[in-house]
Amino acid sequence: MRPNVRRLRRMFKPQRIGHTVKGIPQYVGDSLRGLHWMFRVGKRQADRNTITTRDGVPLNTHWDRPLMHGWKDAAGKWKRMQRVSQSTFEETRTLRSKKGDFRMNTTDRDLAEMGRLGFKVAWIEPKVWNNMDNQPIWDEIAAMGKRHGVELKGYALPGNWKCLPYMNAAGIPSHRLRRR
């Protein structure tokens, strides 16, 4: 077994951290309903994917190009290849899952719900480094965690490692992971 896989298993303790399982769309795991499901099945730590909009609002979403991955635009203004990281928060408010029952939440709202439910740790994963390779964003996310009583930890996969120094400087212990 490679050392990075052992490190992953130690870090994440998969039996305790809520994450989307195979067969469930990713937007479910990043939703408030997904948090409630994780809480009901006994998870007290959750993986939270984060992308920041062009105007600096951190959102919980796995996909930077949502129309390619199970989202639709209720207003009909989004282009197929348009990125969340290159759009404003107001533009993202028109996005819904294909059935229309899920929306993208802000990281602040997500952490508030985690604190209300009693989650102990949120594992923050930046999905793209656009707009997230600056200190004020990570200071704001760290303040959100403190305000809502949720401990933040972080990790990044290759391509997003640029965020790690900012996460650590904001007081969010973070790790560099490698793909298998």
Rounded to an integer, what distance in angstroms lies between the CA atom of residue 50 and that of residue 127? 6
Contacts of 75 (CB under 8 A, 6+ apart): 94
SS (H, E, C) 148-179: HCCEEEEEECCCCHHHHHHHHHCCCCEEECCC
Work out the mean pLDDT of the chain and round it to a whole number.
Answer: 84
pLDDT (average), residues 22-35 = 71
pLDDT of 145 strictly over 90: yes
User: What domains appear along the chain, each with residue ranges and CATH number?
Assistant: 3-176 (3.20.20.190)
And the tokens for 33? 């309903």
When pLDDT is cut at 50, 70 and 90, the band that residue 12 belongs to is low
pLDDT of 141 strictly over 80: yes
Q: Which of 27, 174, 59 is nearest to 128 (CA)?
A: 59
Rounded to an integer, what distance in angstroms lies between the CA atom of residue 180 and that of residue 169? 28
pTM above 0.95, yes or no: no
Look at residue 91 in the predicted model and tell me its pLDDT: 92
Look at residue 113 in the predicted model and tell me its pLDDT: 95
C-alpha 108: how far from chain center? 11
